Amino acid sequence: MTDATTTSSQSTSPFGSVIQWLLRNHIWVFLALTIVVFSLASPYFLTVKNMSNILTQGAFIGILAIGMTMVMIDGEIDLSVGAILALACALSIGLQPVIGSWPAVFVGLLSGAALGFVNGTLVALSGMHSFIVTLGALIGIRGLVFVYTGENALMVEDFAYTEIAEVYLGPLSLTAMLFIALALFFQWILSSTRHGRETYAVGDNIEAAHDAGINVKRHKIINFTLCGTLAAVCGILLSMRLGTAEPNAGKVWELWTIIAVVLGGTRLQGGYGSMWMTIGGVFTLAVLRNGLRLLNTPNYVELMVMGAVLILALVLDKALNHRGDH
């Protein structure tokens, strides 16, 4: 409504551009705020060990959130990431005695890519909404995991496998490093490659993208495949860290993932978002969960706080950016 004849007053001073960046990525301000609050509230919060914990815990949801961000900028959603994670986790442990550790990991990865590909193909070709398609996938794949594991947790036999994930660089675990590296890589994809531009174009105005000659179907299939693959990466890291594969692994993680991405500011309807936002959202979520637990908050209160924070973040986002209005 506001676009009568205004061109946005793009401020060019460095100070102005910092402000602009913070307005778009206000989640980082919020993250800083939560860190300050919890540091004051609990002496155990701002310790190297706890920070390291937060980074690692956040990184699992974070890796899922990277793929989810790609899919969500496309204007789609993937509810099956938690289930894909569980399957990849189970395969990478269950297959070890049969084909060895690394081949098992590879098969786990492949399963994620394949399932993502199937999701994407169904969404692109059937015209059904991804919410429905991936909801079906969530149920079906989880069922598959139960069948495969025989409803029991699978244990790793070769304990060297669990040591892979024990690599630390200072307070950064392998998982945390991988998350940050992947997030930066995908941010680069979004901002500097053809695929990235396509992602925004498709999510923003799918007709314009189609009319401009972008192969929308192929594009969506690629992003769902990426999302499935990243979910498998997350599942494999989890299998290394835990040494077991629970059939219930990653349950409701898709919800946490979506919350993290939305909290970051990526728009649910697509066309707008970035990995910077998602990193901010992921760590804000991790800090909140960790901090509330340190304060011995009962579980239900924790859930209520998280819900309230999410809604607050959405309101704030609308107020700051006025982006919901087309």
Binding site for another protein (CB under 8 A): 3-8, 10, 192-198, 200-201, 204-205, 207-209, 211-214, 271-272, 326
Q: How far is the CB of 261 from another protein (least distance, A)?
A: 17
The residues near 107 (Cβ < 8 Å, ≥ 6 apart) are 91, 92, 95, 99
Residue closer to another protein (CB basis): 67 or 196: 196
Q: How far is the CB of 195 from another protein (least distance, A)?
A: 6
Minimum CB–partner distance for residue 294 and another protein (Å): 39
What amino acid occupies position 60?
F
Long-range Cβ contact pairs of 305-310 (< 8 A, separation 24 or more): 306/259, 309/263, 310/259, 310/262, 310/263
Query: How far apart are CB 130 and another protein at their closest, in Å?
Result: 17
Identity of the residue, 105 or 221, whose beta carbon is nearer to another protein in the bound complex: 221
Looking at the DSSP bridge assignments, the partners of residue 244 are: 155
Nearest distance, CB of residue 2 and another protein, angstroms: 8
Nearer to another protein, 49 or 326 (CB): 326
Closest CA to 139 of 64, 86, 70, 63: 86
Q: Give the 3-state secondary structure of residue 297.
A: coil
Q: Which is nearer to another protein, 3 or 169 (CB)?
A: 3
DSSP code per residue over 45-114: TTSHHHHHHHHHHHHHHHHHHHHHHHHHHTT---TTHHHHHHHHHHHHHHTHHHH-HHHHHHHHHHHHHH
Closer by beta carbon to another protein, 217 or else 241? 217
214 or 314: CB nearest another protein: 214
Q: How far is the CB of 205 from another protein (least distance, A)?
A: 5
